[in-house]
Structure 1
Amino acid sequence: MASFQKYTTKQGQLWLFKMDTGINPTTGKRQTTTRRGFKTKKEAQSAAQSLQLEILNGNIVNHNNYTFDQVFNDWFTNHSKTIKASTQKTIKSKFKRHILPRFGKLKIKDITKAYCQKMINDIAESITSVNDIKIQANQVFKYAIKMDILSKNPMEHVSVPRNQKEMVSGDHNEAERNYWRKDEIKKFLMTTERELQFRDHVLFHLLIYTGARKGELLALTWDDINFNDGSIRLAKTLFQNEGSFVFQTPKTKESRRLISLDRNTLQLLKKWRTKQNEGLLASGGNIKHQNVVFTRENGTPMRLAYLNEKLDIIIKKHKLQRITIHGLRHTHASLLFEAGASIKEVQERLGHTDIKMTMNIYTHVTDTLKEQTAEKFQRYIEL
């Protein structure tokens, strides 16, 4: 029989249950388990019934022998039912590359705080997104506590090392600049217009002039563009997994947004729509995804890596400042700040959930904006 109890946390009131799970084969003594974190008593009762069935069927494994890999698989099986396929792929990749090679074969009860700290320190030497790695690993340990596999979380008080370059006074290394200035943008777009097919030129123009993510642009349909109002609706994103394409909703409500378009961009889109319709007529109309704005010649969705490859080719050929596709989004934000847009305006246009993300870009704005700030101060003082 299980007993149920309500308890209070910072997140509110939750439920737990305690249950006798039989004889521990290692100690020969009876053992109990406590499972926590259920939102309702009904949810706790359902979990208790499932556990009772596992005990009756002989499927209960001694928690002391659980490896991190086993707990991860159990956690991910449940967690994956609550997240999108694209998020599942991202999480699995992070665990496969960084976490499971270091933790997977270890018994989870033997993992110490010191080992967790060493693991985070090692990862910090090779990647900048180490805090996200800590967050992901932490979810598995929290799940282990919830399932009464652990009593304490060894990852809880681990600190994330700061990048030493961020703590050194002085100018940022020009080679590390991941955005373009106005003159570099003009040169790049002149090059794409001259050397790439028109579809690709329009895509790069949109990346720069809207600050949209590449997945958002590749998922655009013509009904997302309002030529009368001069606006574009970004409400879905293209996800590619093992050769299949999925048009899915964005991760956050802030990512679903309506932004304005300038006249030049609207004219480019109208011209592209005409060219696309001509290609559709030439094919006899036998093309899938006819309403999608940007597709391959056969009408199928474009590969997400395609734009990265084209950008690299142009940069190498013309010896441009090396930036990433995401750097074009950063470029759009930087130039918006130069043009006088407020932080709130930039946040809404880029679809940032947290204004801190926008502030991070603002702190790395171009030298032109810094010069303008000084000039504004001087003009005000001299009035």
Structure 2
Amino acid sequence: MSYLKKVDAKNKQGYAWKCTAEGPRDPITGKRRQITRRALTKKEAQAKVDEAIEEMIKQDKRGIGSDVQDMTVRQLFDQWFNLVMKHRLKETTLSSYMNTMQRRVIPVMGDVRVSALNAMFLQKFINDLTEEELSPRYIEYVSTVLYGALEAARKWNVIDVNPLSDVERPRPRKVIYPTWSRDEAQQCLSTALLTNLRMYTIISTAFKTGARRGEVLSLKWSDIDFENKEINIERSLVYDKKGFRFNTPKTKSSVRKIKIGDSLISDLKRWKAHQNELKMIHRRIFVEHDLVFTTETGKPIYPRTMTFMFNQVIKEAGVQKIRFHDLRHTHATLCLESGMSLKEVQDRLGHGNIQTTGNVYAHVTDNMKEKSTQLFEDYISKI
């Protein structure tokens, strides 16, 4: 039963009537839920209440409690990160997701109800990011994370459809990463060998295995099988607010064995001998972790410190500036150009599927196709 009351005509909203009615009890908590709506006439106020009750019943049938109906974008991300993504992503990736949302999404729509989002609002949001002259790749990253959260809201019946589905978003772009030629790699290694043996061996290891930075810095001597010429990748070094610690690699497929050649075997043995000398010099303070690459006192190397030293070597060598991670791309590119199969490169890099490898190095495989075609032509010309 509804209760109608005339409202003071001097109210700022200009409403003349208020209608209050008992809605259905909350199906989860059993609590009473009163609904109040205001309008210019009795009929309009009653209609608004009836519409609100109908919507409430609809939401109840879909299994949505009153607390979920009013869920904000901020609350959605909290739930999504805690219930889903925390169990699917590595800590560093999760932290990147959270930082991006806190910086780009929450300030704009954090207090907006998820159910109130629509394609027009989200299209403007994406357009605003573009007008800030942010890179298309970064905008794509923001929209992908936001889409994932809204997709979770859809699965949880908070919304019927994902409103970002109808928004024009940046299309995935193929990125060709900068890499070194064989001559540039050799020039950098030669320079490092003369100035910093530790940095030389780090660069050599990354360049000749394609291992990621955290994987290289977490290597232990027990991971290196000199006899069978293999390196076991089974952990990654993480450094954040909690300090240094070892974590599992990026994905399950990242746990792998990489075959290595005589040149890297020789480099690692030379470094091991030098490291033993350092242990003797600093024996009173050296902390033994069995790590291949450490500070002079045996502690793990701070990733940014290593990146700084890498940039110094690049400057001294006078070669093209690349990121340390681009040594991984250089390794893969040269492997493919040398004739190694895409499947073999996939295994060395630890990619979960061959499509990832093919997409990243499509420009290389195109060159390989041309060479293969020429080889075929040369072969059949002899018939």
TM norm structure 1: 0.77
For 2:247, the equivalent position in structure 1 comes to 248
- Closer, same or farther in 2 for the Cα pair 1:177/1:75, shift >3 Å? closer
For 2:115, the equivalent position in structure 1 comes to 109
- Closer, same or farther in 2 for the Cα pair 1:69/1:274, shift >3 Å? same
Instruction: Note if 1:96 corresponds to 2:105.
Output: no
Q: Which runs of 5+ in 2 are unaligned?
A: 1-25, 38-48
For 2:8, the equivalent position in structure 1 comes to none
Identity of aligned residues (%): 31
- Closer, same or farther in 2 for the Cα pair 1:203/1:147, shift >3 Å? same
- Closer, same or farther in 2 for the Cα pair 1:370/1:285, shift >3 Å? farther
- Contact persistence 1:24–1:62 (CA under 8 A): no
Name which of structure 1's ranges 92-101 and 144-153 shifts more when overlaid on structure 2.
144-153
Deviation at 1:373, TM superposition (A): 4.3
- Contact persistence 2:286–2:297 (CA under 8 A): yes
- Closer, same or farther in 2 for the Cα pair 1:322/1:370, shift >3 Å? farther
- Paired AA for residue 89 in structure 1: S
Deviation at 1:210, TM superposition (A): 0.4
Deviation at 1:260, TM superposition (A): 0.7
Deviation at 1:368, TM superposition (A): 7.7
Q: Which runs of 5+ in 1 are unaligned?
A: 1-16, 38-47, 52-59, 167-171
For 2:324, the equivalent position in structure 1 comes to 325
Deviation at 1:224, TM superposition (A): 0.5
Deviation at 1:130, TM superposition (A): 3.9
Give the Cα–Cα distance (whole angstroms) in 2 for the partners of residues 36 and 340 of structure 1. 57
> Secondary structure of 1:325's match?
coil
Deviation at 1:370, TM superposition (A): 7.2
For 1:76, the equivalent position in structure 2 comes to 81
Q: In the alignment, which of 155, 162, 166 is matched to residue 171 of structure 2?
A: 162
- Paired AA for residue 99 in structure 2: S
Q: How does 1:106-185 map to 2 (within 5 A)?
A: 106-123=112-129, 126-127=134-135, 128-162=137-171, 178-185=178-185
Deviation at 1:297, TM superposition (A): 1.7
Kindly provide the CA deviation profile for residues 277-330 of structure 1, in whole angstroms up to 9, marking residues without a partner as x.
222233236433431111112222111222322233333444422322221111
For 1:312, the equivalent position in structure 2 comes to 311
Deviation at 1:243, TM superposition (A): 5.1
- Closer, same or farther in 2 for the Cα pair 1:263/1:318, shift >3 Å? closer
Give the Cα–Cα distance (whole angstroms) in 2 for the partners of residues 78 and 312 of structure 1. 40
> Secondary structure of 2:165's match?
coil
- Contact persistence 2:237–2:244 (CA under 8 A): yes
- Closer, same or farther in 2 for the Cα pair 1:355/1:123, shift >3 Å? farther
Name which of structure 1's ranges 84-93 and 199-208 shifts more when overlaid on structure 2.
84-93
CA RMSD, 1 decimal:
3.2
Give the Cα–Cα distance (whole angstroms) in 2 for the partners of residues 158 and 326 of structure 1. 33
Deviation at 1:93, TM superposition (A): 2.1
Give the Cα–Cα distance (whole angstroms) in 2 for the partners of residues 372 and 318 of structure 1. 32
Q: How does 1:199-218 map to 2 (within 5 A)?
A: 199-218=198-217
Kindly provide the CA deviation profile for residues 196-253 of structure 1, in whole angstroms up to 9, marking residues without a partner as x.
x211110001111000001001111111100111100001111111151121112322
For 1:10, the equivalent position in structure 2 comes to none
For 1:224, the equivalent position in structure 2 comes to 223
> Secondary structure of 1:206's match?
helix
Give the Cα–Cα distance (whole angstroms) in 2 for the partners of residues 273 and 297 of structure 1. 13
> Secondary structure of 1:365's match?
helix
Give the Cα–Cα distance (whole angstroms) in 2 for the partners of residues 305 and 23 of structure 1. 56
- Paired AA for residue 120 in structure 1: I
For 1:198, the equivalent position in structure 2 comes to 197
Which entry has the higher C-alpha Rg, 1 or 2?
Answer: 2
Give the Cα–Cα distance (whole angstroms) in 1 for the partners of residues 280 and 307 of structure 2. 30
TM norm structure 2: 0.77
- Contact persistence 2:279–2:297 (CA under 8 A): no
Deviation at 1:366, TM superposition (A): 9.2
- Paired AA for residue 360 in structure 1: N
Give the Cα–Cα distance (whole angstroms) in 2 for the partners of residues 371 and 89 of structure 1. 42
- Paired AA for residue 79 in structure 1: V
Deviation at 1:147, TM superposition (A): 4.5
> Secondary structure of 1:96's match?
helix
- Contact persistence 1:218–1:294 (CA under 8 A): yes
> Secondary structure of 1:155's match?
helix
Give the Cα–Cα distance (whole angstroms) in 1 for the partners of residues 83 and 288 of structure 2. 34
> Secondary structure of 1:293's match?
coil
- Closer, same or farther in 2 for the Cα pair 1:368/1:155, shift >3 Å? closer
> Secondary structure of 1:240's match?
strand
Q: How does 1:9-48 map to 2 (within 5 A)?
A: 19=28, 22-24=32-34, 26=36, 31=56, 33-34=59-60
Deviation at 1:261, TM superposition (A): 0.9
> Secondary structure of 1:220's match?
coil
- Contact persistence 1:36–1:147 (CA under 8 A): no
- Paired AA for residue 194 in structure 2: R
> Secondary structure of 1:100's match?
helix
Deviation at 1:347, TM superposition (A): 0.5
- Closer, same or farther in 2 for the Cα pair 1:36/1:266, shift >3 Å? farther
- Paired AA for residue 269 in structure 2: K
